[in-house]
Amino acid sequence: MTAARHSRAGRYGVAIISVGCAMLLKLDFGPWLGEESPFLLLFAAVTIAAWYGGLGPAVLATLLATLGTDYFFLHPVHRFLDLDHSSSVRLLIFLIEALTLSAFSAALQRARERAEIEAAEQRRSRELFRNTFELAGVGIARVAPDGHFLQVNQRLCDILGYQNEELLLHSFQSITYPEDLPLDIDAQQRMLAGKAKRYAAEKRYFRKDGTVVWADLAVSLVREPGRPDYFITVIADITDRKQSEEKIRLLNESLEHRVEERTEELREANAELRAFTYSIAHDLRAPLTSMQGLAQALMDDYGEAMEPMAREYTKRIIRATARMDTMTQDLLGYSQLYRSELRLEPVSLESVVDEVLAGIAPNIAARRAQVRVERPLPAVIGHVATLQQIIANLISNGVKFVDSATCPVIVIRAENGGDAVRLWVEDNGIGIAPEYHERIFGVFERLHGVAEYPGSGIGLAIVRRGAERLGGTAGVISSPGQGSRFWIDFSIHS
């Protein structure tokens, strides 16, 4: 019980009542209690007041007792502060003793109160620690410097599958997965030697049933002055996370493996397809040439004798075989772009364009086309034959896809953009609707009939593929009736 717990009125009331009671006792039973009894009884009253109420009530009790003794028990009685010498001395001694007693018991009381408060705080913090330790969602252990478990919480027992007492018979070394032990022991030694304060790691333990559990471990060392006392170890079970990570890793591995397999299959299929295209185009040419030759021989040797209709059919055979020959040759050229190794080197665009123009001069003249080259054209990184093929196809198309009433005008120019060059081949032809801008670069993609504009539908496929083989790409800007502007991007040679 502490004075602080009682109300002020209660504390002072007890002081007054205890002094009053002592007085009454003395007044009623004076003759039986002896000469010194008022002081003894009043000492008792002051002690009760000090014990119950602390210093203030004890002083009040002392004063009341002093006055009461003076009035009731010391000669002359029933008068205040009119004492003879010996009574004054006795009263003064009582006053001093009672005040000393009050101060002493109040100090005692305060010390007791402090001790009680400290004990309560310790109880609370012990309880708090016990609750934290026992109810924590992670495993916690106190571990001796040699590695033996000194104290473990329920969560740790659950994680490791042991009963509390069983786990206390183990050390962390005895339940650690062998591969993870060297790191643990090294960390333990470093901490004991004062070289590290904490240690954290992801490691494996053996559960009691022999299965492996993954843990996120954090260890700190508690030191007594001068020596290591114990480790505090906190362990979170991360087995689920680790298993998920492992699953994802395996999945990624198998995915990579599958992608590699599929890529290889695709590569093989592509190579086969290219070989197939090449051999078809190549092998077709021999019978085709003989068909063409025989039809021509038929025409030359027996043309006169033939019925007009038979002659027309023979002419058609000759035209069809010629067209098929062009197609197979183009196809061969296209597949060649996949098959051959290109050695890239600096090439002057200007000389390539000049050579192409010289090569197709008859075609240009026949169509009365004008070709304007905006010189100078830069040098690029390329391959002469491929560049010639690309530029020839673009100029030929520019000359070809023009309506009959228009004289074709072709402009060839280059645009410098940092470390790349864009070559433009622009015409004033029939133009191309935007929805076909990509399609026309595919093999055999044509927007017109052969009768209207002859061709095999491979020219632009060669342009796109050739540009890609040179490390660039090709595209077009056009709309119907507005002419077309084809472009190819190259790396520049400076």
Question: Smallest gap, in angstroms, from Cβ of residue 484 to ligand ADP?
Answer: 4
Torsion of the alpha carbons at 190, 195, 196 and 197, rounded to the nearest 10 = 120
Q: Within 13 Å of residue 97, how many CA atoms lie on the same side as its CB?
A: 14
Q: Within 13 Å of residue 95, how many CA atoms lie on the same side as its CB?
A: 13
**Side chain identity at residue 56, one-letter code:** G
Question: Smallest gap, in angstroms, from Cβ of residue 349 to ligand ADP?
Answer: 19
Q: How many residues does the chain have?
A: 494
Residue 132 · residue 124 · CB < 8 Å: no
d(C-alpha 353, C-alpha 477), whole Å = 21
Of the candidates 213, 458, 470, 488, which one interacts with ligand ADP according to CB under 6 A?
A: 458
Beta strand 198-206 with 212-224 is antiparallel
**Side chain identity at residue 161, one-letter code:** G
Per CB under 6 A, does 342 bind ligand ADP? no
Of the candidates 38, 53, 54, 459, which one interacts with ligand ADP according to CB under 6 A?
A: 459
Q: Between 398 and 472, name the residue whose CB sits nearer to ligand ADP.
A: 398
Per DSSP (E only), the strands in 318-473 are 345-348, 370-373, 379-382, 409-417, 420-427
Question: Smallest gap, in angstroms, from Cβ of residue 462 to ligand ADP?
Answer: 8
Per CB under 6 A, does 18 bind ligand ADP? no
Using the contact rule CB under 6 A, the part of the chain among 195-203, 345-353, 372-380, 422-430 near ligand ADP is 422-430
Residue 220 · residue 180 · CB < 8 Å: no
Residue 232 · residue 220 · CB < 8 Å: yes
Using the contact rule CB under 6 A, the part of the chain among 1-9, 117-125, 253-261, 428-436 near ligand ADP is 428-436
Q: Between 139 and 398, name the residue whose CB sits nearer to ligand ADP.
A: 398
Residue with tokens 């402090």: 114
Residues 35-74 interacting with ligand ADP (rule: CB under 6 A) = none
Element (H, E) at 32: helix 8-33
Element (H, E) at 197: none
Using the contact rule CB under 6 A, the part of the chain among 83-91, 111-119, 337-345, 453-461 near ligand ADP is 453-461
Per CB under 6 A, does 397 bind ligand ADP? yes
Sign of CA dihedral 227, 229, 230, 232: negative
Phi, psi of 99 (to 5 degrees): -65, -45
Of the candidates 103, 411, 447, 492, which one interacts with ligand ADP according to CB under 6 A?
A: 447
Question: Smallest gap, in angstroms, from Cβ of residue 483 to ligand ADP?
Answer: 8
Residue 339 · residue 278 · CB < 8 Å: yes
Per-position x/- string for 347-386, each x denoting binding to ligand ADP as judged by CB under 6 A, each - no binding: ----------------------------------------
Sign of CA dihedral 452, 456, 457, 463: negative
Q: Between 153 and 393, name the residue whose CB sits nearer to ligand ADP.
A: 393
d(C-alpha 147, C-alpha 77), whole Å = 82
Q: Between 18 and 484, name the residue whose CB sits nearer to ligand ADP.
A: 484
Per CB under 6 A, does 333 bind ligand ADP? no
Question: Smallest gap, in angstroms, from Cβ of residue 327 to ligand ADP?
Answer: 9
Per CB under 6 A, does 448 bind ligand ADP? yes
Question: Smallest gap, in angstroms, from Cβ of residue 400 to ligand ADP?
Answer: 6
Per CB under 6 A, does 455 bind ligand ADP? yes
Of the candidates 429, 465, 487, 490, which one interacts with ligand ADP according to CB under 6 A?
A: 429
Residue 44 · residue 58 · CB < 8 Å: no
How many chain residues are in contact with ligand ADP, going by CB under 6 A? 21
Per CB under 6 A, does 389 bind ligand ADP? no
Residues that bind ligand ADP (CB under 6 A): 393, 397-398, 401, 427, 429-430, 432, 440, 445-448, 455-461, 484
